[in-house]
Each structure stands twice: as structure tokens, then as C-alpha cells.
Amino acid sequence: MTEALVEMADALVADYDVVDLTHRLASHCVDLLPVAASGLLLIDEHGDLRLLASSNEQARLLELFELQTDQRGPCLEAFHTGHPVLVDDLESDGGRWPAFAFEARRQGVRAVHALPLRMRSETVGALSLFSNEVTSLSEDDRKLGQALADVATIGILQQRALARSETVIEQLQGALNSRVMIEQAKGVLAERGGIDVDAAFVLLRDYARDHRMRLSDLARSVGVDRSVAADVLARRSG
């Protein structure tokens, strides 16, 4: 737990990569909490939530379902209220969001917990935690999840941008645009390497860290340069 918080805090240096920071958050949540997947939604320049990071394809698809069908679920509720939404069992406690609960159960998810990404009175997104079993979060687990979310929120807002909401929105929009390039790069690697998209992202992330590159810069290169894609895929045998 301490190592995860230290790593997240260490990432908050000049010129850090917001996309990489949020993917670290999603991965740490799965490692440290009793959940199978995690996703992160972020507000865009129009005030709408969009997907920024996910720990695996299951989380990505569920988050997109909630956003694209305009069906309010636990994640959107946590964002709009600014309070945690804890659903231990979607079978018995998912009636508030029937469409989301049905799709989540169809994908094997039984419990969903959502925590707001907030700084003082401003909420900029939500952290979603998915479990494939009926699962309750202990008070300690909830506090840890919120602590990780709070560290990520500090990074996203970059503190100094808090004084002007226009600056915050501009910076967040840049992170969301980077996410599109990352999804495209995952698709390129998955197709060329004959691997699934989760494995493709692991290769992309590890290559960027090992070569001290921004994840978004590497993704842009992979999308247009076949030699870079081949170099990243070569890690499988490395």
C-alpha cells in the first residue's frame, strides 16, 4: 500500500504523464483492493464524462456502456453527487440502474463501487471498482481507494490550474485526446501481434516506462510507424 502511494506521489513531477498516472491508479486498485477491474471517468470540456483509463477490457466495456447508453449507473452517480456509491450485490441492489446492472451481470460483474475524483468542492470524475463476486468494501479499503483517487485528482488538476476552470478543462481535454491515440495503438499492436488488447496495452505501457517516454507520445508513434510497433511487440520474447 505504501509503495503504491509513494509511486503515485513520485509521478507528480514536472512534465508528468496524466494518462500513465491514471493507468497506474487503475492497476494499483486491482492489486490492493478486493476487485477484479477498475476504470476511471473524467469530465471533458463540455462537462460530459469520458473514459480515461481502465485496468482491462472488461472495465473499459462497462464504462463505455454506461456512458454511451446515457444510463446513469454507480459511476455517474458518484460523479454527480460527489459521494461514494457502494453496491455489494448488483442482483439485489441494482434496481436504481436496471440497464447498467443487467449489462454488468451479463459480463460477470456482481459488485460495483464508485468513488468520486474530487478536490475540495470540485469533482472532475469517478473511479469505478468492479468485482466478479458479491463483495463489500471494508472501511479501510474504501479509505485506501479514495486516497489513491485523491492523489490522482491532485495530479490531474495540477493544483496551480485550480484558480481558472478554463485552464483545468483545457489540460483535461488534452489527456482525453491522448486516450484516443492509446486505444488506436492498442488496436494496432493487437492486430499485428495476434494478441488481445489487454496484453497489447501492457506491452505499450512497459515499453514507454523502460524508454522514459510519454505513453501518449509512444502511442502516436505506434499508430503511424510500423517499425516502432514491431519494436514494442518484440518485448514478448525479450
Per-residue pLDDT of 3-27, as tens digits, reads 666 666 665 655 567 778 888 888 9
Residue 38 has pLDDT above 90, yes or no: yes
Mind listing the pLDDT tens digit for each residue in 102-133? 999 999 999 999 999 987 788 889 999 999 99
Q: Quick one: pLDDT at residue 3? A: 65
Find the mean pLDDT for residues 186-214. 91
Cα separation, 165 vs 122, whole angstroms: 10
- Written out in words, the top-level CATH class of the domain with range 2-163 is alpha beta
The burial of 47, by beta-carbon neighbours within 10 Å (0-12 exposed, 13-18 middle, 19 or more buried), is given as exposed
CA-wise closest residue to 87 among 52, 125, 35: 35
DSSP string of the chain, one letter each residue: -HHHHHHHHHT-STT--HHHHHHHHHHHHHHHSS-SEEEEEEE-TTS-EEEEEESSHHHHHHHHHHHHTT---HHHHHHHHSS-EEES-HHHH-TTSHHHHHHHHHTT--EEEEEEEEETTEEEEEEEEEESS-----HHHHHHHHHHHHHHHHHHHTTGGGG-HHHHHHHHHHHHHHHHHHHHHHHHHHHHHT--HHHHHHHHHHHHHHTT--HHHHHHHHHH-HHHHHHHHGGGG-
Domain at 177-237, CATH class: mainly alpha
pLDDT interval class at 96 (50, 70, 90): confident
What cell does 62 get?
462497462
Q: Is the full-model pTM beyond 0.75?
A: no
pLDDT at site 77: 92
Domain extent listing, the chain: 2-163, 177-237
Beta-bridge partners for 89: none
